[in-house]
Amino acid sequence: MARPRPASQLRPLGALFGCLLLLSACGADAGSNGGKGATPAGFPYTVTNCGVRTTYEEPPQRAVAMNQHATEVLLALGLGDRMVGTAFLDDEILPEYAEEYRKIDVLAKQYPSREALLGADPDFVYGGYESAFDKNEGRDRSTLAESGINTRLNVESCTKGRVGPDELERELRETARVFGVPRRAERLIERQREQLDAVAERLDGVDRTDVFVYDSGEGSAFTAGGGGIGVELIERAGGRNVFADVRKPFADVSWEKVVERRPETVLLYDYAGTPLAEKRKRLLDDSALQDVPAVRDREFAVLPLSSAVLGVRMPQAVEDLARQLHPERFPTSGDKAGR
């Protein structure tokens, strides 16, 4: 299955919107109103997301999420009861959200047609990648707005440069605010910070491992560069992305460059398409790569693609990768999972 690739555009203003900026909605999750027909607490709410300014008079009640990380953000915020559809998952939904996810209609294995999307009668569409709002398919944000449907795009798709916890917190806060449940975001953010801090403490003073991300590719290697979230994941896990100087989130690089940079570990992104075994075989069978330390020593780490994007999996992804790169700092983790 082909998958969309993140796009880089203009960086949104600011990385964090603290509770004070949420005004009265911070005191309690909005959604209750003072009487029939009254405006819900904290509304109207105006936000600019990836260049689109939207005023919400009330929280959405019929949301569709497209792409795994968008779906899991809504479920993590306890909004499954307001979802009328999902689409385009790369792998299994997180176990803690599986029961709630099974209650939601899957509109398409990949992206739904405009007709299928409108057939769900949404009042809000949340896209993980820019490709969720394909103009050629009639799903662009302006066209949906004309149909009375508000939209949100994950900020990784419109952020120039690297993204990390600050952008994730903004994504969670703004999404929760749209739905009138700001306190749920704050509780989730607190847990995520605790997990990231615990990993950082374990890795204090560690010697960083040189990492090459292999997403796909034959004639050249499609890898994670210095933009997007990939470089942040690697660094927080005690690694160093050997292609951090490439400004794009993803880019094709020559195999000669891979050889020159001599990575110590290859990080494989796992998603529907080329099986992991075939990716390993492609690297191990390439005679030009035999002196690359990671290939020579069969040092492979693995992350599912759904963990390598800006979503609620990020803190766990950092820990999972750290356990693979530095198992000695995690005594109960066993050997490297990717071997």
Give pTM, 2 decimals.
0.86
Per DSSP bridges, beta strands 45-49 and 52-56 are antiparallel
Q: Which residues contact 232 (CB under 8 A, 6 or more apart)?
A: 162, 163, 164, 165
241-252 average pLDDT score = 95
Cα(294)–Cα(291) distance, rounded to whole angstroms? Answer: 9
Helix (H, G, I), strand (E, B) or coil at 151: strand
Residue 304 has pLDDT above 80, yes or no: yes
pLDDT of residue 21: 38
- Positive or negative, the Cα torsion across 248, 216, 200, 293? negative
77-84 average pLDDT score = 98
pLDDT of residue 30: 52
Cβ-contact 301, 265 below 8 angstroms: yes
The mean-pLDDT minimum among 23-37, 110-124, 300-314 falls in: 23-37
Cβ-contact 104, 83 below 8 angstroms: yes
Q: Could you tell me which of 37, 62, 57 has the C-alpha nearest to residue 46?
A: 57
pLDDT of residue 25: 41
Residue 189 has pLDDT above 50, yes or no: yes
- With a pLDDT cut of 70, the percent of the chain lying above it is 87
pLDDT of residue 331: 85
Name the residue with tokens 């460059």. 257
Q: How confident is the model at residue 273 (pLDDT cuts 50, 70, 90)?
A: confident
Question: With left for phi above 0 and alpha for psi between -120 and 50, is residue 31 left, alpha or beta?
Answer: left
Question: Radius of gyration over alpha carbons of the chain, in Å?
Answer: 21
Q: Could you say which DSSP state residue 208 is in? A: P
Q: How confident is the model at residue 274 (pLDDT cuts 50, 70, 90)?
A: confident
281-306 average pLDDT score = 97
Q: Domains in the chain, ordered, with CATH?
A: 19-194 (3.40.50.1980), 204-329 (3.40.50.1980)
Q: Which amino acid is at 274?
A: T
Q: How confident is the model at residue 44 (pLDDT cuts 50, 70, 90)?
A: very high
Helix (H, G, I), strand (E, B) or coil at 316: helix
Residue 240 has pLDDT above 90, yes or no: yes
- Positive or negative, the Cα torsion across 16, 22, 23, 27? negative
Q: Tokens for 248, please give them.
A: 């794009």
Q: Which residues contact 160 (CB under 8 A, 6 or more apart)?
A: 8, 9, 10, 11, 227
Cβ-contact 315, 12 below 8 angstroms: no
Model confidence pLDDT, tens digit, residues 123-161: 999 999 999 999 999 999 999 999 999 999 999 999 998
